[in-house]
Amino acid sequence: MVQLQISEGPLAGNHQEVCHFPFRIGRAAGADLRLEGAGVWDQHLKLDFDPAQGFTLSTLPPALATVNGWPIEAVILRNGDIIEFGSQKLRFWIGATKQSTLHVPENLVWAAICAVTVAQIGLILWLLK
């Protein structure tokens, strides 16, 4: 699960889960992560995923941004990278995935294994008679 931790600005301390790509960040009402602040454009950043490269972040012209203090137009992100644009600061984070509960399917598999074992023991005893 990809998360963006908001470090500065009015929403500081909040986390935003990224559930789809491309993920747009900006001031516009249609942005996936809407951030108000000085220097934030309507369409400022785009976060995308490419299986061959990984997670890529690009600026949408004429917007400017830095990752770990380096100016970027496009960059491949790594876990913990700090993204700064306008008055905003985000931390890119790949968090632990959420696993749905598997208790019921696991119990059914164990019940099936037990049933097959009992059937095999019964068959062996029947054949020995």
Q: What are 10-37's pLDDT values in tens digits?
A: 788 888 999 899 999 999 999 999 998 8
For residue 53, CA distances in Å to 36, 39, 87, 91, 125 come to 30, 29, 29, 19, 59
| Contact yes or no for 91/77 (Cβ under 8 A) | no
Q: In the predicted model, what is the mean pLDDT of the chain?
A: 92
Question: Domain coordinates of the chain in residue numbers?
Answer: 2-94, 99-129
Return the CATH fold of 2-94: Tumour Suppressor Smad4 (2.60.200)
d(CA 24, CA 69): 21
Per-residue pLDDT of 80-109, as tens digits, reads 999 999 999 999 999 777 777 888 889 999
Query: Each residue of 38-49: pLDDT tens digit?
Result: 999 999 999 999
Q: ω before 105 within 30° of 0 (cis)?
A: no
Q: Which residues contact 126 (CB under 8 A, 6 or more apart)?
A: none
